[in-house]
Amino acid sequence: MRWLRKLLAVVRKQQLDEELQEELAAHVDMLTDDNVAAGMSLDEARRKARLSVGNLSMAHELHRDARGLPTLESVLQDVKYAVRTLRRDYGFTIIAVSILALGIGANATVFSVVDALLLRPLPFQEPHQLVWIENGDPNSPGSTNPSDTASRVAVFRGWRDNSGLFIDMGAYSPFFTRGSYALTGDGEPELLMGVRVTDNLFRVLGVDPQAGRFFSRGETVTGGPPVVILSHRLWQRRYEGDPGVIGRTIELDDQATTVVGVTSAEFDFASVFAPGYGVDLFVPADLDVMANWSNTLSVVGRLAPGASLAAAQVELDIINARLPEEQPELANSSFAAFLSPLQTHVSKTVRSALWLLWGAVGMVLLIVCANLSNLMLVRSVSRRRELAVRAALGAGKMRLVRQLLTESIALAALGVVAGLGLALVALRAIVTSQAVVLPMLEQIRLDTTGVGLAAVITLAVALIIGTVPALQVSRRDPFAELSHSSRGAVGDRAQTWTRSALVVAEIAIACTLLVGAGLLMRSFGQILDVPLGFEPAQRASVKLGAGSRYDQPEALDQLQRQLVASVRSIPGIEGAAFTDSLPLDGNRTWGLWRSELEPTAENVKTTFVRLISDGYFHTMGISVLTGREFSADDGADTEPVIIINETAANTLWPGEDAVGGMAGIFDGERRVIGVVSDVRHNRMDEDPGPEMYLPLPQMTSSNTSLVVVASGDPIALAGQIRGAVQEIDPQLPFTNFRPIAQLVDRAVSPRRFFMSMLGGFAGIALLLASLGIYGVISYSVGQRRAEIGVRLALGALPSRVLLEEVRRGLGMTLAGLAIGMVGALLVARLMASQLYGVGTTDAATYGVMTAVLLTVALVAGFLPARRAARTNPVTALRDG
Amino acid sequence: MKKLDLLPGTLDLMVLRTLQTMGSQHGYGIARRIEQISGNQVLLNQGTIYAALVRLQQQRWIDAQWGVSDNNRRAKFYEITDSGQKKLTEDSEAWWRLASVIEAMLGPQESDR
């Protein structure tokens, strides 16, 4: 209570002072009255009265100390003084705060991303118990193609039923990105993305529904009631979060389906398992039906408490060895189980890039430290006189330290605030940007630990370097310092050395970052230059899935032919065709072999599959190398045909003409009628594997996309295309008509993200390093102004002075470059996995970055050097 | 004879005692009273009395209110509170005990010798 009253007294200072003033005045008046009454003259009475009251300002001072918090008040005084000083040196303040803000902002941003993706546990119950169980194809290790990583139903069941170390195992079908569900009935028809999940997947993950319930065992078997779970996003978007939707029947693929539950807002399936895609629905996975297909399940298991990953791996290996005997259908297939913590799996694709980014941002922080230290050092020298004056006036050493500390803290506070602002803006941009495809994106929050850490480190370094030299003053005789003329204040040799060393370090770090960023940029350029095999420009696509109204193959074929014909007739459209999966947009593979050979593991090649309509190659800009493409005549009753890509042709028919050969797939043999160019179907940075194309009329699918090529911008024709489609069937959903280029953008998005982040950091580093060079040279030039004046007066050529100063800058730059290049070589090795088409010692990158750094450094050194050369000897000598 | 310097804390005690005997009083009145009682033996810088007053006020030992003095001047009047009375009793006791100890230590006064 008393502290509160004291604090209140500090706040109400002015009012209390005024009251005291009045009280003291009354005191003097009353005393004067009494003195007059005692017989004094008025003047005498007043003089006497004043004398007995004593020093009024002293009374005020005592009063303040008694009622308030003297320590706090002197701190406030320090703060006031600091603010005044910082405002007076606003140039210094702005630069220092900007540097701090850049360092802290960059660190806070990256730390927040790292935290969300790598450090924070997944938003599931006991996430450390969750294990990702991946199949593996010995022929393509490390493949990201779901056909390789998913497991067969029989294998999944074998694990689930025989394992003792797992409490439970759940699964989903990773091929959902290719499929879709048409939502019709009330409102605009819409195509939704739905994932088939086992009834227990949510229980395994340990998430709760927002409303309703999850699936029961009876709903995930053949003939079970049609049920669906809505994602929180769809529930909000389409049903405005109405809890009454539970139990309601909706039309999904022309089938009345009951909504049984809604997932919670925190559970974002796609951000964990399929970043970059949106998931709208969950539907029951009918394992009995899916058992007839090949690898269809991505498996997540929950370990029993205390069970280790290694033990579980051994257990599943043992089960795998036994399975072919127990389940004859598995006799000829190869499968395996590779276990990894789910968290590791989720962040797998970005892990090394993130560590890299974290390292880079740490380097930026180092530069910030160096730069700030340099600034503080310069300032401490120029403030020696001020501090000496204060010491001479009786300021104690502690008081000076406290004042410098207060100033640094004020500076840091400004820097932290500005840095936080920067980080917030950056994070917002990252999270909301459609172009950034990262797992767990929605989980990114501004992490204050990161901010605090960065602030403390920066400040500690700057304080030590900035305060220590300033304090040397108080150790010395302040009068000696004061009697020094400013001409003598060159700064000691040690300090000059420190400053140069700091600049060299800055250049070295900037050089390392520049080369790293350069290598990433080169890789990115290489990726963008990769022959895609198709033309993204002027092309767009829309998912046009037909519901069960068209479950007869003939009806579907008819519909697709009608749609294509109708769209092709729109003016400006140069081609239209159907495909069941677009490049870079989810994949599956089937086995392909030469039908005259036995389909053994050796002869069967894992091959990407596309079911397409005629005209697809022309529409997508894929070139037909030999043979012909599908025609409208290739139908259900004509000879089964197939088109393969160059890689498949060279693999299966090396040195021969594949056209005319017979290829085998699971449903029989097909004649190869053409060979087309390779298309990057899976990833931009993965060489295309064997690919095959089958005509839709011979292998129907309702999960199709319509692709169009226009003479101009196809998006401008969206309305007409939609009209043409819905004229044929108004119940066909026509949503998300998008340029094919978006697929390419999404595919390169993580790379683009890391490249631009690292590029930004390298830019900051370059800026700070050049600022460092500029600062050091312009400071030394300023200090030696008189000396330069004398030399010029004695006949030294200005060009010589210029050259000398530039050379000083160059010396530091070269030293920094030499160290930085060694660092760059080491860093490049660490980031080898992030590079594409560029060696870690790519001469062009190293050369260009050296040139960039040299140029910037030369300019930064040249500006102050020129000022030195232009020194007017007369004024320089006069000003001393 | 040189005037006495006040021992720390004694001014507070004097103020409290003054307010106890005189009732509501302003700063000037308190200062006058202390000077009178001490027979002008203590060195009282009258301005310092206000620091003591605010200190006592913050401890809630005294209360203050603006009022009008006998000769029609606006002044702040101070009054001892219940907890102030208690404090005064405690401190007086402590003071007497201390005084008797000091007396015993120092023995009879020089003039008595």
A657-676 pLDDT, tens digit per residue, is 989 999 999 888 999 999 99
Strand order across the beta sheet in which B74-80 lies: B25-26, B74-80, B62-68
Mean pLDDT of A627-646: 91
Residue B99 belongs to a domain: yes
Across A131-140, A199-208, A474-483, B32-41, the highest mean pLDDT is recorded for A199-208
Strand A668-676 to A662-665 pairing: antiparallel
Average of per-residue pLDDT values in chain A: 84
Per-residue confidence band for A323, with pLDDT thresholds at 50, 70 and 90: confident
pLDDT band at A814 (very low <50, low <70, confident <90, very high): very high
Taking Cα atoms as reference points, which of A443, A470, A540 lies closest to residue A739?
A540
Instruction: Work out the average pLDDT over A376-390.
Output: 75
Greatest mean pLDDT range, A109-123, A364-378, A469-483, B14-28: B14-28
Q: What is the mean pLDDT of residues A284-293?
A: 82
- Assign B109 a pLDDT band (cuts: 50, 70, 90): low
| A319: pLDDT strictly greater than 60 | yes
CB A127 within 8 Å of CB A121: yes
pLDDT reading at A75 higher than 80: no
**Predicted pLDDT of residue A569:** 92
Structural domain includes residue B23 = yes
Quote the percentage of chain A above a pLDDT of 90.
16
Chain A CB contacts of B33 under 8 Å are none
Each residue's pLDDT tens digit, A239-269: 888 888 888 888 888 888 899 999 988 888 8
Chain A residues in contact with B48 by the CB 8 A cut-off are 54, 59, 62
- Parallel/antiparallel/unpaired status of strands A605-612 and B62-68: unpaired
Say yes or no for a CB contact (<8 Å) between A59 and B27.
no
Res A366: pLDDT: 86
What pLDDT sits at residue A488?
44
Distance CA(A799)–CA(A477), nearest Å, equals 41
* C-alpha count within 13 angstroms, C-beta hemisphere, residue A698: 25
Mutate to test the interface with B, among A3, A21, A23 (most CBs of B within 10 A): A23
pLDDT band at residue A774, thresholds of 50, 70 and 90? confident
Average pLDDT of chain B is 84
Q: What integer pLDDT is reported at residue A708 of this predicted model?
A: 93
Distance from CA of B113 to the nearest CA of A (A): 38
Residue B1 lies in a domain: no
Q: Quick one: tokens of A879?
A: 């000003």
Contacting B with CB below 8 Å, chain A residues are 2, 5-6, 9, 19-20, 22-24, 26-27, 29-31, 33-34, 52-56, 58-59, 62-63, 65-67
pLDDT, mean of residues B22-38: 87
User: For residues A25 and A267, what is the distance between their CA atoms, to the nearest angstrom?
Assistant: 72
**Nearest residue on chain A to B49, alpha-carbon basis:** A59
**B113 domain-assigned:** no
Q: Is the pLDDT of residue A489 over 60?
A: no
Contact (CB<8Å) A33/B54: no
Element (H, E) at A509: helix A493-529
Mean pLDDT of A539-566: 84
For residue A781, give the amino acid letter: V
Q: Give me the domain span that covers residue B36.
A: 10-108
Interface test with A, best of B15, B25, B48, B53 (most A CBs within 10 A): B48
8 Å CB contact of A23 and B55: no
* Interface contact flag, B58 A19, Cβ < 8 Å: no
Of A124, A135, A142, the residue nearest A174 (C-alpha): A135
Max distance between CA atoms of chain A, in angstroms, equals 139
Domain count, chain B: 1
Q: DSSP letters along A214-230, please? A: ---GGGGSTTPPPEEEE
Indicate the Cα dihedral angle A360, A366, A372, A377, nearest 10°. Answer: -160
- Searching chain B, which residue's CA lies closest to the CA of residue A27? B28
- CATH number for position B97: 1.10.10.10
Mean pLDDT of A329-349: 82
Query: Does residue B40 lie within any of the structural domains?
Result: yes
Q: Tell me how far apart the alpha carbons of residues B107 and B113 are, in angstroms, rounded to a whole number.
A: 10
Reply yes or no on whether the pLDDT at A562 is more than 60.
yes
Of the candidate ranges A437-446, A521-530, B5-14, the one whose mean pLDDT is the lowest? A437-446
Q: Tell which residue, A415, A441, A446, A510, has the closest CA to residue A103.
A: A415
pLDDT digits (tens, 9 = 90+) for A840-857: 888 888 999 999 999 988
Under an 8 A CB cutoff, do A26 and B73 touch? Answer: yes
pLDDT, position A486: 47
Residue A620 · residue A707 · CB < 8 Å = yes
Q: What is the ipTM metric for this complex?
A: 0.86
Q: Cβ B71–A20 below 8 Å, yes or no?
A: no
Q: Which of B28, B63, B74 to mutate to test the interface with A (most CBs of A within 10 A)?
A: B28
What residues of B are in the A interface, CB distance below 8 Å?
Answer: 26-28, 31-32, 45-48, 50-52, 54-55, 58-59, 69, 71, 73-76
Residue A490 has pLDDT above 60, yes or no: no
pLDDT score of A471: 60
pLDDT band at A487 (very low <50, low <70, confident <90, very high): very low
Q: Are A121 and A272 in contact (CB under 8 A)?
A: no
Q: Which residues in chain B have their CB less than 8 angstroms from residue A52's CB?
A: 46
Search chain A and give the residue with CA nearest B77: A23
Does residue B38 sit within a domain? yes
CA neighbor of A375 nearest in space, from A705, A97, A158, A721: A97
From chain B, the residues in CB contact with A2 under 8 A are 58-59
Q: Look at A136-150, A304-318, A761-775, A840-854 and tell me which has the smallest mean pLDDT.
A: A136-150
B contacts of A59 (beta carbons < 8 Å): 45, 47-48, 50-51
Confidence of residue B113 (pLDDT cuts 50, 70, 90): very low
Q: What is the pLDDT of residue A538?
A: 92
Name which of B50, B52, B58 is nearest A20 (Cβ-Cβ): B50
Q: What torsion, rounded to 10 degrees, do the Cα atoms A138, A139, A142, A144 define? A: -110
More confident residue, A479 or A677: A677
Residues B51-106 have pLDDT tens digits of 888 888 888 899 988 888 877 888 889 999 999 999 999 999 998 998 899 888 88
In this predicted structure, the answer to whether residue A184 has a pLDDT above a threshold of 70 is: yes
The H or E element that residue A357 is part of is: helix A342-382
Name the residue among A385, A176, A416 with its Cα closest to residue A282. A176
Stretch A227-232: mean pLDDT, rounded? 91
Put simply, the answer to whether A33 touches B31 (Cβ < 8 Å) is no
Amino acid at A145: N
Looking at the DSSP bridge assignments, the partners of residue A578 are A706
Among A9, A27, A56, select the one facing B27 at the smallest CB separation: A27
Among candidates A5, A20, A30 on the partner chain, residue whose Cβ is nearest the Cβ of B28: A30
pLDDT at A176 over 80: no
Which chain A residue shows the shortest CA-CA distance from B48? Answer: A59
Question: Residue B100 falls within a domain, yes or no?
Answer: yes
Which residues of chain B are within 8 Å of residue A66 when distances are taken between CB atoms? Answer: 51-52, 54-55, 58
Query: What is the pLDDT, as a whole number, of residue A352?
Result: 82
Per the CB < 8 A criterion, the answer to whether A86 and A93 are in contact is yes
What average pLDDT does range A504-523 have in this prediction?
A: 90
Residue B74 to residue A26, Cβ atoms within 8 A? yes
**Contact flag B55-A9 (C-beta cutoff 8 Å):** no
Contact present, A393 and A474 (Cβ < 8 Å)? no
Structure tokens at A38: 């005692």
User: Residue A747: what pLDDT?
Assistant: 84
Confidence of residue A577 (pLDDT cuts 50, 70, 90): very high
Report residue A748 as tokens.
């390169």
Q: Look at residue B44 and tell me if it is in a domain.
A: yes
- The residue of chain B nearest to residue A57, with distances taken between CA atoms, is B47
Cβ atoms of A770 and A507 closer than 8 Å: no
DSSP state of A68: S
Is there a contact between B58 and A6 if contact means CB atoms under 8 Å apart? yes
CB pairs under 8 A between A and B: 74
- Strands (DSSP E) found in A304-446: 338-341
Choose the mutation target among B15, B26, B30, B46 for the interface with A, i.e. most A CBs under 10 Å: B46
